[in-house]
């Protein structure tokens, strides 16, 4: 099997950096859609480390896991967008700060 | 790379409850096409489905049995939890039938979603593989995101759904990253293999594994609404339709605790020095923030949300204590919590009417003069939540705390008891309003039969488990 010259640590670092970018996006941005995209970045960061672990440790569970993550992410997207559309019908905005009927 | 093998035998009997309930959920979806505006038939079919599920939970013999290459387990814990889930979902459906009619939620998918959510809970409580735990959590969460926003025309319900969704998906990211790191450092997603690895390899100081465990605590802590991951709970509880609030404060929480117990108490007890302090602080914070936060609330749904945060704190003690006695305590506590919570929410639903839900605590002023029986029932539920003998809440707390005492967590138990005392302040506040204030206006209560039925079940459960707990406690004992 092909053994890459890029060490595992690099993949893990990439994944960690992407994950942190995702967290920062969720915490900093106020646009619902962008926050939503940042969450997807977090999930994909996880996928990178799952696949990297699999490749370097000769395992196989992680690949199945990453497929599950993708499936669930797709289901989550459909529900999430539906919620955003329902919300948009009642209040035409995507700014998180304007959703303040309930105290945060 | 090791090849991916198909499981040698696919044990469908072990999976019976999940299969039965999935079939019923999809059947309800199809049936809804013909049912028209009247959802009584749909409700009835859903209830039958839940009953069949509870029966089929006992189909596998002998226990513990494993299925799908050890990723699914049928054991005492999972069977008992399955019964709690079916009971809570049945009560949620009964509460919904009158409420949905009143609020004009005439959509049959509502019942299908509750059933599918229950499927997720059963998967979650029976899984011994991180992939299954993840799937279970997501099935539950995605159904709940939709249910929280089920009043589509109500901006408050929409907002609750959005907040729940964004924060829930955010927490899922942490949970997943934690699982990945645990997987990477132990080489398996299977809890038994992880347990073996931790036992034999002594991985206590592996930084990757420790990091993974911390992230797991964040992810699961969010699902049970433990402080500091509780920010969503008050908003979502307040904004969701009331039967959904009742539903999500019992079943999904119990399921998440089942996963918590399996991962922390059963899989990695050897690593307790690493996670014990962390979970202890989460538990103590949950109790204090939950109880002190509840004191300041004027909305009764928000108050019960904070109260459920504090209950998450008490329940975490079971995870920290790790013993099988603590596991039994967890089961018994969840059962009593089901009865009392659904009873209390039943009364909250009865007090509201279309367009005016009467959710402020002030709206309860003088209830005892007009509807003494309702006021007495509410008092029973609130006192049981607080943990006053002779009600079920007292026995549950006593059982749980004594299990923790046996394991030597004296300080934690003292804090928990102190917090139970604090909690009486806000539970009794409602009682004071009901009995000692003059009625502010007329109560327009239509005594909906299904809701009354749930309240009666709640009362019977709360008092019966409080006075004669022996037989149920015997059932909860994990052999």
Give chain A positions within 8 Å (CB) of B177.
19, 42, 45-46, 49
User: What residues have CB less than 8 Å from B38, skipping those under 6 apart?
Assistant: none
The shortest CB-CB distance from B155 to any of A49, A69, A91 is to A91
Query: Tokens at residue B144, please?
Result: 């709940």
| A31: helix, strand or coil | strand
Locate the domains of chain A by residue range: 8-98
A4, pLDDT greater than 70:
no
| Strand-pair partners of B353 | B356
CB contact under 8 A, A53 and B188: no
Query: Tokens at residue B132, please?
Result: 């299954």
A46, pLDDT greater than 60:
yes
Q: What is the pLDDT of residue B107?
A: 84
Q: Is the bond preceding residue A34 a cis peptide, omega within 30 degrees?
A: no
CB contact under 8 A, A102 and B131: no
Q: What is the pLDDT of residue B203?
A: 66
User: Closest chain B residue to A25 measured between Cα atoms?
Assistant: B170
**Per-residue pLDDT reduced to its tens digit, B423-442:** 999 999 999 999 998 887 77
Residue B327's φ and ψ, nearest 5 degrees, are -60, -45
Nearest C-alpha neighbor of B178 from the set B221, B223, B217: B217
Q: What is the pLDDT of residue B9?
A: 64
Nearest C-alpha neighbor of B89 from the set B37, B138, B33, B25: B25
CA dihedral sign, ordered B128, B132, B133, B136: negative
For residue B266, CA distances in Å to B77, B180, B198, B479 come to 12, 19, 12, 14
Element (H, E) at A8: helix A8-28
> How far apart are alpha carbons B117 and B255 in whole angstroms?
11
**Tokens 């090849």, located at residue:** B3
**Per-residue pLDDT reduced to its tens digit, B270-309:** 888 889 999 999 999 999 999 999 999 999 999 999 999 9
CB contact under 8 A, B179 and A43: no
Q: What is the pLDDT of residue B2?
A: 58
CB contact under 8 A, B160 and A79: no
- Shortest CA gap B2–chain A (Å): 6
> How far apart are alpha carbons B89 and B115 in whole angstroms?
7
Q: What is the pLDDT of residue B11?
A: 81
**Per-residue pLDDT reduced to its tens digit, B76-96:** 999 999 999 999 999 999 999
User: Closest chain A residue to B1 measured between Cα atoms?
Assistant: A58
**What's the per-residue H, E or C state across chain B?**
CCCCCCCCCCCCCCCHHHHHHHHHHHHHHHHHHHHCCCCHHHHHHHHHHHHHHHHHCCCCCCCCEEECCCCEEECHHHHHHHHHHHHHHHHHHHHHHHHHHHHCCCCCHHHHHHHHHHHHHHHHHHECEHHHHHHHHHHHHHHHHHHHCCCCCCHHHHHHHHHHHHHHHHHHHHHHHHHHHHHHHHCCCEHHHHHHHHHHHCHHHCHHHHHHHHHHHHHHHHHCCCCCCCCHHHHHHHHCCHHHHHHHHHHHHHHHHHHHHHHHHHHCHHHHHHHHHHHHHHHHHHHHHHHHHHHCCCEHHHHHHHHHHHHHHHHHHHHHHCCHHHHHHHHHHHHHHHHHHHHHHHHHHHHCECCECCCEHHHHCCHHHHCHHHHHHHHHHHHHHHCCCCCHHHHHHHHHHHHHHHCCCHHHHHHHHHHHHHHHHHHHHHHHHHHHCCCCCCCCCCCCHHHHHHHHHHHHHHHHHHHCCHHHHHHHCCC
Which has the higher per-residue pLDDT, B63 or B318? B318
Nearest C-alpha neighbor of B275 from the set B186, B182, B200: B182
Cβ atoms < 10 Å from Cβ of B479? 7
> How far apart are alpha carbons B363 and B261 in whole angstroms?
39
Confidence of residue B63 (pLDDT cuts 50, 70, 90): confident
Per-residue pLDDT averaged across B111-127, rounded? 96
Stretch among A72-81, B7-16, B254-263, B364-373 having the lowest mean pLDDT: B7-16
Under CATH, to which class is A8-98 assigned?
A: mainly alpha
CB contact under 8 A, B135 and A68: yes
Q: Which one of B146, B148, B177, B297 would you mutate to disrupt binding with A, by most A Cβ within 10 Å of its Cβ? A: B177
Pairing of strands B72-74, B65-67: antiparallel
Percentage of chain B surpassing pLDDT 90? 74
The shortest CB-CB distance from A42 to any of B142, B162, B173 is to B173
A5, pLDDT greater than 90:
no
Residue B360's φ and ψ, nearest 5 degrees, are -80, 150
Q: What is the pLDDT of residue B163?
A: 93
Stretch among B22-26, B33-37, B100-104, B339-343 having the lowest mean pLDDT: B33-37
Per-residue pLDDT averaged across B137-149, rounded? 95
Per-residue pLDDT averaged across B321-332, rounded? 93
CB contact under 8 A, B163 and A69: no
Count of helices and strands (H, E) across chain A: 3, 0
């Amino acid at each position: 099997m092909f053994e890459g010259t890029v060490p595992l640590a690099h993949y893990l670092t990439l994944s960690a950096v992407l994950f942190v970018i995702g967290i920062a996006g969720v915490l900093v941005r106020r646009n619902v859609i962008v926050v939503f995209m940042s969450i997807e970045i977090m999930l994909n960061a996880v996928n990178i480390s799952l696949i990297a672990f699999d490749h370097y440790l000769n395992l196989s569970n992680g690949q199945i896991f990453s497929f599950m993550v993708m499936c669930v992410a797709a289901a989550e997207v459909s529900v999430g967008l539906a919620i955003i559309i329902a919300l948009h019908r009642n209040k035409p905005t995507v700014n998180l700060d304007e959703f303040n009927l309930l105290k945060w | 790379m090791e090849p991916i093998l198909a499981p040698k035998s696919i044990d469908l009997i072990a999976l019976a409850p999940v299969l039965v309930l999935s079939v019923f959920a999809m059947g309800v979806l199809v049936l809804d096409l013909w049912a028209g505006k009247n959802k009584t038939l749909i409700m009835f079919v859903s209830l039958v489905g839940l009953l069949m599920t509870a029966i089929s939970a006992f189909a596998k013999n002998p226990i513990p049995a494993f299925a799908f290459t050890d990723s699914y387990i049928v054991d005492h814990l999972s069977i008992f939890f399955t019964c709690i889930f079916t009971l809570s979902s049945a009560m949620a459906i009964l509460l919904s039938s009158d409420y949905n009619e009143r609020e004009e939620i005439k959509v049959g998918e509502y019942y299908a979603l509750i059933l599918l959510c229950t499927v997720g809970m059963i998967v979650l409580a029976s899984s011994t593989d991180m992939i299954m735990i993840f799937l279970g959590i997501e099935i539950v969460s995605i159904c709940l995101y939709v249910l929280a926003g089920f009043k589509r025309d109500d901006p408050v319900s929409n907002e609750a759904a959005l907040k729940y969704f964004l924060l829930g998906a955010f927490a899922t990211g942490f949970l997943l990253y934690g699982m990945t790191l645990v997987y990477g450092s132990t080489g398996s997603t299977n809890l038994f293999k992880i347990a073996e690895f931790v036992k034999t390899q002594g991985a206590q100081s592996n930084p990757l594994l420790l990091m993974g465990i911390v992230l797991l605590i964040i992810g699961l802590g969010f699902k049970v609404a433990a402080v500091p991951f509780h920010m969503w709970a008050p908003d979502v509880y307040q904004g969701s339709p009331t039967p959904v609030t009742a539903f999500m404060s019992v079943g999904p929480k119990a399921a998440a605790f089942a996963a918590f117990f399996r991962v922390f108490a059963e899989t990695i007890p050897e690593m307790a020095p690493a996670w014990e302090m962390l979970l202890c602080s989460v538990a103590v914070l949950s109790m204090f923030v939950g109880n002190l936060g509840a004191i300041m609330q004027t909305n009764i749904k928000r108050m019960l949300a904070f109260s459920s945060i504090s209950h998450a704190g008490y329940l975490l003690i079971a995870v920290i204590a790790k013993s099988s006695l603590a596991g039994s305590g967890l089961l018994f506590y969840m059962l009593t919590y089901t009865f009392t919570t659904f009873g209390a929410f039943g009364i909250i639903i009865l007090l509201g009417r279309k367009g005016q839900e009467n959710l402020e605590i002030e709206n309860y002023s003088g209830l005892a003069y007009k509807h003494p029986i309702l006021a007495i029932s509410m008092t029973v539920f609130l006192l049981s939540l607080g943990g006053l003998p002779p009600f079920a809440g007292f026995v549950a707390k006593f059982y749980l705390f004594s299990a923790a005492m046996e394991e030597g967590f004296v300080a934690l138990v003292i804090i928990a008891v102190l917090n139970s005392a604090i909690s009486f302040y806000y539970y009794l506040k409602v009682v004071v309003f009901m009995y000692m204030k003059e009625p502010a206006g007329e109560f327009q209560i239509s005594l909906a039969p299904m809701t009354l039925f749930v309240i009666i079940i709640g009362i019977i459960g709360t008092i019966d488990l409080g006075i004669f707990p022996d037989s149920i406690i015997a059932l909860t004992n994990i052999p």
